[in-house]
Amino acid sequence: MSNPIRLVIFGRQGAGKGTQCVRLVETFGVIHVSTGDVLRGAVAAGTELGLKAKAIMDAGDLVSDDIMNGIVRERLAEQDIVENGVVLDGYPRTTAQAEALAMVLGDDGLHAAIDLDVPVEEVTERMKARGRADDTEEGIRRRLELYEQETRPVLNWFAARDLLVTVDGLAEEAVVTERLLSTVRSLVES
């Protein structure tokens, strides 16, 4: 069996990460794991994890590294991911989580961390245009600031290990998909 694809994907809200993750799943058969979705599922199901996570998420804080590392470690060991590979979305959110991921996957375990890069001005326009109730100018600005504070050190962590690959997300959806797919193909072939 060939080495399954293992990626992390980053991108600001409004960068089109969700759509592009669907394309990765369709094209490569990888499993998309969004830790935000996992937590929202646990909240909806009323599990012990969900009960713990709900207040933290409602406050806009981060769930603890211990909890997140445990969730991801267990999920990565499941057969579907062992066989088909994974795109991690929303994890790692801290450098401690990045270290934990490196421990779980081992040396050469990760093909790359992809930064789907769309400038702040553009995602702001996109979010304003979709007009959701929480998409006020102030709300958008705060979420983007938080992303910057939270994510930059993690991007730097991957860059320092030569694992960060930036994909220019400023184009039509189909064009960005082609850029992303060819980037991943070259990662897998190299």
- Where does this chain bind ligand AMP (CB under 6 A)? 35-36, 39, 56-57, 61-63, 68, 90-91, 93, 97
> Could you give the 3-state DSSP secondary structure of residue 85?
coil
Task: Indicate the residue among 63 and 81 with the shorter CB distance to ligand AMP.
Answer: 63
Residue nearest to ligand AMP (CB): 36
Q: Tell me how far, at minimum, the Cβ of 20 lies from ligand AMP, in Å.
A: 15
Task: Please say which residue, 52 or 128, places its beta carbon nearer to ligand AMP.
Answer: 52
Least distance (Å) between residue 177 CB and ligand AMP: 21
Answer yes or no: are the C-beta atoms of 145 and 13 closer than 8 Å.
no
Q: Which alpha helices (H) appear in the chain, and where do they start and end?
A: 17-28, 35-45, 48-58, 65-76, 79-84, 95-105, 120-130, 137-160, 173-189
What's the min distance (Å) between Cβ of 53 and ligand AMP? 7
Tell me the closest approach of the beta carbon of residue 90 to ligand AMP, in angstroms. 3
Cβ proximity to ligand AMP, 57 vs 155, nearer residue: 57
Strands (E), 6-61: 6-10, 31-34
Q: Which is nearer to ligand AMP, 67 or 188 (CB)?
A: 67
Least Å from the CB of residue 40 to ligand AMP: 7
Instruction: Tell me the residue ranges of DSSP E strands in 42-98.
Output: 86-89
Residue 148 has, within 13 A of its CA and on its CB side, a CA count of 9
Q: Token digits for 110? A: 């990760």
